[in-house]
Structure 1
Amino acid sequence: MSEQRPHQFERGTDGPKVIMAGVDGSASSLRAAAYAAGLARRQNALLSLVYVQPVLAAGAALGAPVTGATEEIAEGLAAEIRTSAERVRDLWRVRWEFHTFKGDAYAGLVRAADELKADAVVVGASESAGHRFVGSVAVRLVKAGRWPVTVVP
């Protein structure tokens, strides 16, 4: 008689179940969201769109969020996504959800991918020149090696 084990999450068994895309309102992140939506549609996977609200550098240790502006960005992104989803509702049947996490972009996306049990992560290429010194979020996600990462230009 075989022993019954409780169901455990297992990555990569029957194709992706959750495809996560990081969005921040930039053109490259919105292209990444569109690319991820296409992947999710073709794979019949859940599309999880994630916005990471930055924290103040001085208050980061205390977890003080940047209020107002980041809340407006999150609300604006959610509204834009809803509008876009409504426009293509009859063409693309994509199950999607929108999440907001707080922290720096890399740590927030890692936490989101872990909590959402993402099978794949899609992000836009950095549009900032400063990433040459500290490394772009996309490069850091690839180096983490925990999920397949697609970087959309």
Structure 2
Amino acid sequence: MFELGTDGPSVIVAGVDGSESSMRAAAYAAGLARRQNSRLVLVFIQPMNTIGGAATGAAMVQLGQDLATDLERQIREAAERLDAAEGIRWEFVSQPGDAYNGLVEVADRLRADAVVIGASTKAGHRLLGSVGVRLVKSGRWPVTVVP
């Protein structure tokens, strides 16, 4: 819906998972946020394992939390090294779940104006559709897929 008195995006959501393409997407989104004076929200959705028992599930939750902590540390270190990061209002959000549904939930909750995501490198996504393709097809926000 069109809002009077706004110019450009106020919230940009970028999906990150530690892959090279997701880190390029985060850098691209940071540049957009800096130029547009937008808030940048970097989102890591911790993968959930639906196969296995309680011990496997607990181990997956711990692994997801460890990955989130490490990813946030890497992002903070990179932001501190870059002078260009000055003035960018950013935050890191991590939660367990499915990547597509998790990104949709966060983007809806924050009323995101744009979503940026890295291109998938998995061969199976050519047949089944990647998270990026599913976000584009949802038609809810402008979506940029960074190679």
Q: CA RMSD in A?
A: 2.1
**Between 90-99 and 103-112, the greater mean CA deviation after superposition:** 90-99
Runs of 4+ aligned residues of structure 1 deviating over 6 Å after TM superposition are none
Q: Counterpart of 2:111?
A: 117
Q: Distance in 2 between matches of 1:118 and 1:17?
A: 7
- Determine if the alignment matches structure 1 residue 22 to structure 2 residue 15: yes
Check the 8 A contact 1:12/1:119 in 2, yes or no: no
3-state DSSP class of the match of 1:47? strand
- Determine if the alignment matches structure 1 residue 127 to structure 2 residue 118: no
- Change over 3 Å in CA distance of 1:11–1:36 after alignment to 2: farther
- Determine if the alignment matches structure 1 residue 31 to structure 2 residue 7: no
Q: Which has the higher helix share?
A: 2
Q: Counterpart of 2:73?
A: 79
Q: Distance in 1 between matches of 2:41 and 2:51?
A: 30
Check the 8 A contact 2:15/2:116 in 1, yes or no: yes
Unaligned runs of 5+ in 2: none
Unaligned runs of 5+ in 1: 1-8
- For this pair of structures, how many residues does the alignment match? 141
- Determine if the alignment matches structure 1 residue 54 to structure 2 residue 47: yes
3-state DSSP class of the match of 2:68? helix
- Change over 3 Å in CA distance of 1:85–1:12 after alignment to 2: farther
Q: Sequence identity, in percent?
A: 62
Q: Counterpart of 2:95?
A: 101
Q: Counterpart of 1:40?
A: 33
TM-score by length of 1: 0.85
Q: Distance in 1 between matches of 2:91 and 2:5?
A: 21
**Between 9-18 and 73-82, the greater mean CA deviation after superposition:** 9-18
- Change over 3 Å in CA distance of 1:144–1:91 after alignment to 2: closer
- Change over 3 Å in CA distance of 1:11–1:76 after alignment to 2: farther
Q: Distance in 2 between matches of 1:90 and 1:138?
A: 27
1:127-152: CA deviation from partner (whole Å, max 9, x where unpaired)? 11111232100000000000000000
